Structure 1
Amino acid sequence: MIKREIDIAIISDVHLGTYGCHAKELLKYLKSIKPKMLILNGDIIDIWQFSKSYFPEEHTKVIRKILKFVTDGVPVYYLTGNHDEMLRKFADFKMGGFQLLNKLVLDVDGKKAWVFHGDVFDVTMQHSKWLAKLGAIGYDTLIHINSFTNWILLKMGKKKYSFSQKIKASVKEAVKFINEFEQTAAELAIEKQYSFVICGHIHQPEIREIITEKGSVTYLNSGDWVESLTALEYNNQVWSIYKHDTSLIDSEEDSLEEKEDLNNMLNVKELFEKFKQEVA
């Protein structure tokens, strides 16, 4: 497979360790690109719902592929989110080209980009964390049921249907949560004189210019790998949203690459052991 060379790739809200995670599709995407920098903008591993009984091989392969970027010399920034907030106490941890942070400010062709997950703007997260966690479990269960429903619909020759997107759309229209989230992020970024503000968290891919009385900023959101299956890409001084192409298939070259990765790189257990030694 010929890999697409891009300057920056940003993914968020992967939720590894949950039934809703499309790890196989994400792995195909990661195999298809050759980024100069990779940013993981929160909720990559869903520690809230992590269970030893459910962490399929496809989910482990995603971690291995990310580690392969590190061993290949690609800077990888892991920014913490609410579902992996337990990692926040280890912020500023660095190992080779891998760095764990809560937020990141980048110089992008002479313009400042402010990158963070975005849960800081979520009132539920700040004041009723137990309710947010309960909602996350319900959301994952709904996704699991929806997967079975869509399997039946496809067998019947009908299109897939998203229960959660339908529910979220109606709720968010009522409370105008998305617009308030985006507006808040934009206003703060304008005050800090950033050109770009880049978030995740709300699972809503977006690129748009937001103008206020104090100025303007480009707001970007990388979406998620539960339903949207999207990423942000920056190349040739242009931001774009990548939408997963379901026609991508594994090639023999990919299989050989994967075997080579397993033979030549740190495995996941070794990485965690080294991580524990570094933070001890």
Structure 2
Amino acid sequence: MKGEELKKRILEVVVISDLNLGTPECQAKELLVYLSSIKPKILVLNGDIISGQESDLNEFPPSHARVLKKLQLLSLEGTKIYYLKGDQDEFLRKSKNNIPGNFTIDKELFLQLDGKKTWILHGDVFDAPSKLTQRIRHSWKKGLDVLFAFRESKKPYLRQENATVISPVLYKPINNPERTSECHLERKAAERAIKKGIDTVICSHNHQPKKALYKNHSGQCLYLNSGDWMTHLSALEYTFKRWKLYSFKRDKLTAFYGDEALKDLTLSELHKDFWNRAEQNKQRTAS
């Protein structure tokens, strides 16, 4: 065993989310360093992992392609990987299972960890009010545009008749809609989990890393959010019977390159190997 291998942290469960591979905002190099520093038994990719269509994978920058390759290697080395669909995972919504390696693709995951029930899902299902507010604001704006255009077209006639032009009351947006959405997601996820008899619920979606205990008249539930790898560079780790919020910014892993096996692979080699394994996985699934 190599000296570097001894430094890897053995973890029961790791949850990462909102990587948005394929976008400029993704911190792929830092993510590769983190993935190379751990050896989890279970890795949960909790939604919004790959942005764009399946064909876009061929246009990935090398650092992003190396992350995909690293995930393959982890699965081949024995890590059980669950890919939970997020609202941005477009190509997964059109395919049953086209990710190479030992991956399980689903919408949610239930785990039993040291006698406690854990429910993991992306969390966009709890964000309906935020989406509704956006639709209302968009529809209201369109309505105002039509109303103002109509009023402008009638001005000459109104002036002739000495009519009074009544200005519509402008829509006042909700103060800090992001915070409103965040609170709603947390509350709805915790309430649903308590109703289901779940001890811990894990979401992502709003990109806000968090650990909080929620209580109501029916019981209590631990709410966790894994954050993202665009702004917060955070993850959730379960070991020694407890959950911990990991922050790459707070605990930089300079000792790791990001897996020496991937260092010298060219982009074409990464893509070729990725899709070869993808085709093999499809054939196994079909048989």
One-letter amino acid of the counterpart of residue 178, structure 1: E
User: What are the residue-to-residue correspondences of 1:108-147 with 2, within 5 Å?
Assistant: 108-123=113-128
The answer to whether the 8 A contact 1:204-1:221 is kept is yes
Flag the structure with more relative contact order, 1 or 2, with Cα contacts below 8 A and sequence separation at least 6: 2
Give TM-score scaled by structure 2 length. Answer: 0.73
The answer to whether the 8 A contact 2:18-2:49 is kept is yes
Structure 2 Cα separation of the partners of residues 95 and 56 of structure 1: 19
Query: Match for 1:274 among 262, 271, 280?
Result: 280
Paired position in structure 1 for 2:68:
63
One-letter amino acid of the counterpart of residue 28, structure 1: V
Structure 1 Cα separation of the partners of residues 212 and 199 of structure 2: 12
Cα distance, 1:74 vs. partner? 1.0
The answer to whether the 8 A contact 1:91-1:101 is kept is no
Query: Match for 2:218 among 206, 214, 219?
Result: 214
One-letter amino acid of the counterpart of residue 40, structure 1: L
Cα distance, 1:110 vs. partner? 1.1
Structure 2 Cα separation of the partners of residues 49 and 93 of structure 1: 9
1:187 aligns with 2:191: yes
Give TM-score scaled by structure 1 length. Answer: 0.75
Note the aligned Cα RMSD (angstroms). 3.3
Structure 1 Cα separation of the partners of residues 57 and 129 of structure 2: 28
CA spacing shift, 1:19–1:34, aligned 2, 3 Å: same
**Aligned pairs, number:** 239
Structure 1 Cα separation of the partners of residues 184 and 130 of structure 2: 15
SS of 1:267's equivalent in the other structure is: helix
SS of 2:211's equivalent in the other structure is: strand
The answer to whether the 8 A contact 1:90-1:100 is kept is no
1:243 aligns with 2:251: no
The answer to whether the 8 A contact 1:230-1:242 is kept is yes
1:98 aligns with 2:103: yes
CA spacing shift, 1:187–1:117, aligned 2, 3 Å: same
5+ residue gaps, structure 1, are 132-168
One-letter amino acid of the counterpart of residue 119, structure 2: W
Structure 2 Cα separation of the partners of residues 199 and 55 of structure 1: 27
One-letter amino acid of the counterpart of residue 256, structure 1: E
Query: Match for 2:260 among 243, 256, 265?
Result: 256
Deviations 1:243-274 (A, max 9, x none): 0047423657x5533369999xx921113323
Query: Match for 1:17 among 12, 19, 22?
Result: 22
SS of 1:40's equivalent in the other structure is: strand
5+ residue gaps, structure 2, are 137-174
1:224 aligns with 2:252: no
Paired position in structure 1 for 2:32:
27
Q: Which has the larger radius of gyration?
A: 2
